[in-house]
Amino acid sequence: MGKSLMIASVLAVTGAAAGVLALKQPAFADERLTITSFGGAYQTAQRKAYFEPYTKQTGVKITEGEYNGEVSKIRAMVESKSVSWDTIDTDAVVGVQPCAEGIIERIDWKTLGLDRDRFTGADNDCSVPADFYATILAYDKDNLPNGPKTLNDLFDTQRFPGKRGLLKSPFGNLEWALIADGVAIKDVYKVLGTSEGVDRALKKLDTIKKDVVWWTAGAQAPQLLADAQVVMTSAWNGRIYEAVKNSGKHFEIMWDAQELGMNVWVLPKGGPRLEAAYKFLAFATSPAVQAEQTRYISYGPANKDAISHVDPAVLPHLPTAPDHMTNALLIDAAFWAERGDELRQRFTAWLAK
């Protein structure tokens, strides 16, 4: 990502914050942590922003693990009393279930030393918000110079004829359908929580069903744009940003009604290094350090105080940039944890019609 004097400032503050942590309780040579995340570009960004600087500042050795977000792996470790992961990054929706099961720790924010109120989405007692990714609408300026300006344009096949890409899932699509049908963002989950609300969302999706190309993996959305198979597509903002930055594509993101998904840190129940895990979380979720991750991936920090530390050249690409938050929908993790199976069944039946 871009460089500026702000980066130097971020690094300086990061070093200072880490130094304070190190002074509070110096690390011993045998201190270590095993931190598990999703791999790929995301974990590379975490390594550069969190893992390597933390080891350098404290001497704590970090072993990295990778997984696909399976709760079963956490459950198996806890139930067998063989917990080997100290800290885990997971999706907020996935994080609801293990909290209810009691297989992850309830977060002691006093021990963490951070103000819970300064975190967006800190409503799960068992997780600490890490960062936000967004489902957005994207288009290729080379093929569509005057692209969509609002979510309603996704459903306007008169002004924007042609195929449009959508994730083959009810997740996000039902919310967008209701918003485009006139439901206020603050009321989306209240409406979607009723059978009539689901019918309303599917009826709205009916209006573009024959024009949809369904994608199932994150890499497919930008490829659909690159191959001109669609005029616009839902996509994850990081994928679009990477295509522009690294592949020279002229893709554009339309941020209206962006849907914010959240990654969170959790601690497996009975971990042998709980105190050390808390120290790492205090470091990784502090404002300047969360801002540091934005140098490597275009995910928005969950700590509200981190935005002031972000490089101004990077800020416009983040979901949590103030301008992008004016009409944003925060995905309700608890709603999807409770209703996801039912809605997937209804969506699959609708697809088959």
pTM: 0.82
Identify whether residues 56 and 198 lie together within a single domain: no
Residue type, 199: D
Q: Which of 9-23, 64-78, 88-102 has the lowest mean pLDDT?
A: 9-23
Tell me the CA distances in angstroms from 142 to 139, 153, 219, 314, one per residue in order. 9, 18, 20, 23
How confident is the model over 7-51, as pLDDT tens digits? 333 333 334 344 444 434 444 445 899 999 999 889 999 999 999
Answer whether 226's CB lies under 8 Å from 141's CB.
no
* Distance separating alpha carbons of residues 216 and 230, to the nearest angstrom: 15
Identify whether residues 230 and 191 lie together within a single domain: yes
145 Cβ contact partners less than 8 Å away, ≥ 6 residues apart: none
Identify whether residues 138 and 128 lie together within a single domain: no
Residue 340's pLDDT is 93
Identify whether residues 38 and 100 lie together within a single domain: yes
Answer whether 151's CB lies under 8 Å from 179's CB.
yes
* Distance separating alpha carbons of residues 55 and 27, to the nearest angstrom: 10
Identify whether residues 149 and 240 lie together within a single domain: yes
Identify whether residues 124 and 9 lie together within a single domain: yes
Closest CA to 57 of 293, 308, 279, 294: 279
Q: Decide if pLDDT at 209 tops 70.
A: yes
Q: Which two structure tokens, joined as six digits, stand for 131?
A: 């960062």
Identify whether residues 14 and 112 lie together within a single domain: yes
Residue type, 10: V
Closest CA to 62 of 75, 43, 80: 43
Q: Which two structure tokens, joined as six digits, stand for 143?
A: 């093929």
Instruction: Give the CATH number of the domain where residue 104 resides.
Output: 3.40.190.10
Confidence at 193, pLDDT banded by 50, 70, 90: very high
The total number of structural domains that make up the chain: 2
Q: Decide if pLDDT at 195 tops 70.
A: yes
Surface-to-core class of residue 68, CB atoms within 10 Å of its CB (0-12 exposed, 13-18 middle, 19+ buried): exposed
Q: Share the mean pLDDT of the chain.
A: 91
Going 342 to 345 to 350 to 353, the CA torsion angle's sign is negative
Identify whether residues 246 and 272 lie together within a single domain: no
- The strand pairing partners of 254, in sequence order, are 137
Identify whether residues 46 and 73 lie together within a single domain: yes
Q: Which two structure tokens, joined as six digits, stand for 330?
A: 């925060």
Residue 30's pLDDT is 56
Identify whether residues 53 and 91 lie together within a single domain: yes
Determine the structural domain holding residue 35 and report its residue range. 5-132+261-324
How confident is the model over 264-315, as pLDDT tens digits? 999 999 999 999 999 999 999 999 999 999 999 999 999 999 999 999 999 9
* Mean pLDDT, residues 226-239 taken together: 96
With residues binned 3-state (H G I as helix, E B as strand, rest as coil), the percentages for the chain, rounded to 5, are: 50, 20, 35
How confident is the model over 141-184, as pLDDT tens digits? 999 999 999 999 999 999 999 999 999 999 999 999 999 999 99
* Distance separating alpha carbons of residues 209 and 22, to the nearest angstrom: 56
Q: How many residues in the chain?
A: 353
* Mean pLDDT, residues 78-98 taken together: 95
Identify whether residues 74 and 195 lie together within a single domain: no
Identify whether residues 203 and 337 lie together within a single domain: yes
